[in-house]
Structure 1
Amino acid sequence: MLLNSQPIVAIATAPGRGGIGVVRVSGPHLGPFIFKLLGKNLTPRHAHYLPFHDENAVAIDHGIALYFQNPNSYTGEDILELQGHGGPAVMQQLLRRCLAVGTEFDLRLADPGEFTQRAFLNNKIDLAQAEAVADLIDATSEAAARAAASSLSGIFSERINLLATSIVQLRLLVEATLDFPEEEIEFLEKYQARSKLNSIRLDLDQIIAQSRQGLVLREGLHVVLAGEPNVGKSSLLNALAGEDLAIVTDIAGTTRDKVTQIIHIEGVPITIIDTAGLRDTSDLIESIGISRSWNEIKKADVILHLMDATKPTSHLDDKIDSTRSRQSIVLSVMNKIDLLDKTATLPKEAIGISARTGLGLNHLKKKLLEIAGWNPGQESPWLARQRHVDALEQARMHLSLAHEHAAESDRVLDLFAEELRLAHDALGNITGRMTPDDLLGEIFSRFCIGK
């Protein structure tokens, strides 16, 4: 992907009202633009308090102007930040003024994520760090924010680069030996290639395990509460959320549309969706809600099939099973166990709870974490994405094949070397060294504008 040197501008703070708002400009040489916009030159990395004027020399606002000279800036280009009061009207006026002054400098509005994309293309950060910027902004728990900040600092990239270096060193030995066929037979023993490969594989296994934890911390679970009317779905949502989000009554069909809430269990985000009770109905509005319930069931990671423990019979098992995706997991949950006689027993696979008293909720939460793949007490040192885990798994596959070739004979060293190369390329996809342009476009298009 070629770096577009055209200067760009955007509001860098979130939409809406705030005490402070920031308009950010980035480009290769902003000196002339800054002088025309502000009427003075700025000292790099010094805060300048001054008025921001419109085209009629009327002050739009008074604020702070900061100039970061390339290459010592976020993007690696010159950056100007105008910090004013965070009202939408003020920010829009500042943005329009920048665009008007910047016409002769070919200034344009930034695309989503373009500031961070330029930081990546100018080698200020690698691709994993760039993704961590968005993950830090989107983090919904302290644990996720800590992990994203670690990724942004380069901890994850450092582990990947160290592993890649080890693979390259082994590749160099192998490929050098290929030039001297008479030495191939002794290569694996002489240079301890097998033990070096095993060490690399063990290191990769550890990184994969930690990355899976980071993936869970980022993506969590999509959980749908499903069941017939009055089995306690809304009560369970309220109990898990710790507040009254859904209306709870004894009247069947109270919930007519989905209610969504994100909760955190040990830092892991769990999206809980309460749905309309599943039954046959002639009520048009309720039937629309029920249709939406089935649509949510199709998309769920986990379906909590709630039943009333005092009336455990349900006719939904087969229909839920046929509707869900092949990847989703169905848990049978018996609610209202506080109303059961002490001698009563539950079906073997069912989880017994009382949404009213909280009985059994901790067991249910632990089960959800288990399904998510979360290991309590082993918080990931970084945040990961599915593409990271996929690339790591691909590297593991190639290293496994290299191990098989090493076990066969020294006479397949060319295949051994090829698998090492492919494993190295897979790791390069994580940091961006081997990433195709179309994937870069997809990644940065999901960023917010101004970042």
Structure 2
Amino acid sequence: MLARHADPIVAIATAPGRGAVGIVRVSGKQLGGLAQALCGRSLRPREATYLPFLDARGEAIDQGLALFFPAPHSYTGEDVLELQAHGGPVVLQLLLARCLEAAAEPDQTAHAPRLPALRLAQPGEFTERAFLNGKIDLAQAEAVADLIDASTEAAARSASRSLSGALSHEVQLLRDALIQLRMLVEATLDFPEEEIDFLRSTDARGQLQRLQQRLAQVMQRTQQGALLREGIKVVIAGQPNAGKSSLLNALAGAELAIVTPIAGTTRDRVQQTIQIEGVPLHVIDTAGLRESSDEVERIGIARAWEAISTADAVLFLHDLTRADEPSYRAADAAIENALAQRLPARVPLIDVWNKSDCAPTAHPAQIAPDRPAIALSARTGQGLDALRRTLLQVAGWQAAPEGVYIARARHVQALQAVQNHLQQANALLDAPDLPLDLLAEELRLAQNALNTITGEFSSDDLLGVIFSRFCIGK
């Protein structure tokens, strides 16, 4: 634990701006003296007390509720003092300044500062202390931020499940099974003359297979949880006047992008986040792809290609009313070739044929038989539901079961590492001359990867990255 983790900390724990209630939170050791100075009396543990908050002269800054949570029965595992006042920015700043001032004042009994090291909390430091003091594990700590940042109801419910320990419980079950298997292999290393019979009699192969099956189930749920948290980035690309801005407006249900018959109206990216079945979709409208001598439009086209290169899915928009024009088809073919060169193979490409309400036929031409093609009308909305379903399908989303928990990309990557090590272990079990030391190492590495999810094994750098993204006061 770093030295700064021993310092008492204080912060405004509610969002900036005006509100009915604002909270100033203090966490540290032996906060009773500070509570006495601020409230003019001692506080009963875990009991809300309505009283005035006092300045250095004993005059009231405000009146509100004070709560004192002695260690270890608090959010952080330390003593925690919460002052719930009126939510004006000036009032809360006065309370914050008073906390720092009172901490530096000499205690009447000890004749020394009450809390000489009291300082402003860094982002996420209260939750970081809850993790360091064993109140929550790392996956639950991340779920706190995910619950605050949830952009859909499904994401909020899933984050709540992770906060209650759903993901951690699954990881613990995997860890227990892995430890059991490691124990068998390590024991066999001590008795090499019985290695094959011992591993057979304890069904090591069966245990490994059951572990891999359970891991696959957890990975499936975790990937769904990562989708709920991260969403998918969908870029609309195509020639000018194909209806890209109209499609964005139709998906968003609002007039976000300017729509005119003039080619090249969209000069820069326009982004909107929508949700489909609780999954956030970050939809980006881009400038029409073509050769242009207009400097501003060329910059917009360059930014369009930048967005395409980082997309999770690309909608290649075509105009059905111009589908039979040789020049239009040639321009589409040029974009198709450019997409093939620039778009990573893992990114799905969906052909969307717009203006089906105006075209002589609503059936799109088949450009690539191995990818989805949808005909729709951004003006009437016909075909939008089919597009939404296709986007969820290519993203890998399945109808969300009640038990899905929020997850992060790092959780998915850690489980993939576990899967790779278990596959290597399975291959070693099939080797003619069983290398027990290598088998034991693969299982150890699998457990290390698993431990990074809950923080049983984490570097200080990883913790710094995670908690720095929290808001101050949490």
Q: TM-score range by the shorter chain?
A: over 0.9
| Conservation of the 8 A alpha-carbon contact between 2:21 and 2:87 | yes
Output the CA distance in 2 between the equivalents of 1:348 and 1:381. Answer: 37
Report the counterpart of residue 50 of structure 1 in structure 2: 51
| Conservation of the 8 A alpha-carbon contact between 1:178 and 1:414 | yes
Among 319, 338, 341, the alignment partner of 2:360 is 341
Compared with structure 1, are the counterparts of its residues 95 and 324 closer, same or farther at alpha carbon in structure 2 (3 Å cutoff)?
A: farther
Output the CA distance in 2 between the equivalents of 1:126 and 1:343. Answer: 54
Q: CA deviation at 1:32?
A: 1.2
Q: Which amino acid aligns with 1:339?
A: C
Equivalence map 1:65-144=2 (5 Å): 65-103=66-104, 104=113, 105=115, 106-144=117-155
| Conservation of the 8 A alpha-carbon contact between 1:425 and 1:434 | yes
Equivalence map 1:16-415=2 (5 Å): 16-103=17-104, 104=113, 105=115, 106-281=117-292, 283-312=294-323, 313=328, 314=332, 315-325=334-344, 327-342=346-361, 345-349=364-368, 350-378=373-401, 381-409=404-432, 411-415=434-438
Compared with structure 1, are the counterparts of its residues 377 and 448 closer, same or farther at alpha carbon in structure 2 (3 Å cutoff)?
A: closer
Output the CA distance in 1 between the equivalents of 2:346 and 2:322. Answer: 29
Q: Say if 2:2 is the partner of 1:2.
A: yes
| Conservation of the 8 A alpha-carbon contact between 2:364 and 2:375 | no
Compared with structure 1, are the counterparts of its residues 257 and 17 closer, same or farther at alpha carbon in structure 2 (3 Å cutoff)?
A: farther
Q: Is the partner of 1:65 in helix, strand or coil?
A: strand
Q: Is the partner of 2:473 in helix, strand or coil?
A: coil
Q: Which amino acid aligns with 1:375?
A: Q
Compared with structure 1, are the counterparts of its residues 101 and 286 closer, same or farther at alpha carbon in structure 2 (3 Å cutoff)?
A: farther
Percent identity, aligned pairs only, is 56
Q: Which amino acid aligns with 1:206?
A: Q
Q: CA deviation at 1:360?
A: 1.6
Compared with structure 1, are the counterparts of its residues 399 and 291 closer, same or farther at alpha carbon in structure 2 (3 Å cutoff)?
A: closer
Compared with structure 1, are the counterparts of its residues 10 and 326 closer, same or farther at alpha carbon in structure 2 (3 Å cutoff)?
A: farther
Q: Say if 2:463 is the partner of 1:440.
A: yes
| Conservation of the 8 A alpha-carbon contact between 2:25 and 2:81 | yes
Q: CA deviation at 1:401?
A: 1.5
My pick for the range that moved more, 237-246 or 404-413, is: 404-413
Compared with structure 1, are the counterparts of its residues 17 and 281 closer, same or farther at alpha carbon in structure 2 (3 Å cutoff)?
A: farther
Q: CA deviation at 1:344?
A: 5.4
Q: CA deviation at 1:256?
A: 3.1
Q: CA deviation at 1:169?
A: 1.4
| Conservation of the 8 A alpha-carbon contact between 2:22 and 2:87 | yes
Output the CA distance in 2 between the equivalents of 1:185 and 1:287. Answer: 68
Compared with structure 1, are the counterparts of its residues 397 and 284 closer, same or farther at alpha carbon in structure 2 (3 Å cutoff)?
A: closer
Q: CA deviation at 1:284?
A: 5.0
| Conservation of the 8 A alpha-carbon contact between 1:310 and 1:336 | yes
Output the CA distance in 2 between the equivalents of 1:375 and 1:165. Answer: 29
Q: Give the alignment's TM-score, normalised by structure 2.
A: 0.90
Report the counterpart of residue 14 of structure 2 in structure 1: 13
Deviations 1:108-160 (A, max 9, x none): 11111100000000000000111111111111111111111111101111111
Q: Which amino acid aligns with 2:202?
A: Y
Q: CA deviation at 1:77?
A: 0.3
Output the CA distance in 1 between the equivalents of 2:362 and 2:239. Answer: 25
Compared with structure 1, are the counterparts of its residues 17 and 324 closer, same or farther at alpha carbon in structure 2 (3 Å cutoff)?
A: farther
Output the CA distance in 1 between the equivalents of 2:365 and 2:86. Answer: 61
Q: Is the partner of 1:118 in helix, strand or coil?
A: helix
| Conservation of the 8 A alpha-carbon contact between 2:364 and 2:374 | no
My pick for the range that moved more, 216-225 or 327-336, is: 327-336
Q: Which amino acid aligns with 2:350?
A: L
| Conservation of the 8 A alpha-carbon contact between 2:320 and 2:359 | yes
Q: Is the partner of 1:426 in helix, strand or coil?
A: helix
Compared with structure 1, are the counterparts of its residues 436 and 345 closer, same or farther at alpha carbon in structure 2 (3 Å cutoff)?
A: closer
Output the CA distance in 2 between the equivalents of 1:345 and 1:172. Answer: 60
Q: Which amino acid aligns with 1:247?
A: I
Output the CA distance in 2 between the equivalents of 1:122 and 1:147. Answer: 25
Q: CA deviation at 1:288?
A: 4.0
| Conservation of the 8 A alpha-carbon contact between 2:232 and 2:395 | yes
Q: Give the alignment's TM-score, normalised by structure 1.
A: 0.94
Compared with structure 1, are the counterparts of its residues 343 and 259 closer, same or farther at alpha carbon in structure 2 (3 Å cutoff)?
A: closer
| Conservation of the 8 A alpha-carbon contact between 2:353 and 2:364 | no
Output the CA distance in 1 between the equivalents of 2:278 and 2:178. Answer: 34
Q: Which amino acid aligns with 1:238?
A: N
Output the CA distance in 2 between the equivalents of 1:169 and 1:33. Answer: 49
CA RMSD of aligned residues (A): 2.0
| Conservation of the 8 A alpha-carbon contact between 2:234 and 2:315 | yes
Q: Is the partner of 2:273 in helix, strand or coil?
A: strand
Q: Which amino acid aligns with 1:430?
A: I
Q: Is the partner of 1:339 in helix, strand or coil?
A: coil
Deviations 1:154-185 (A, max 9, x none): 11111111111111112112212221222213
Output the CA distance in 2 between the equivalents of 1:55 and 1:228. Answer: 69
Deviations 1:28-49 (A, max 9, x none): 2111111122221111101111
Compared with structure 1, are the counterparts of its residues 344 and 353 closer, same or farther at alpha carbon in structure 2 (3 Å cutoff)?
A: closer
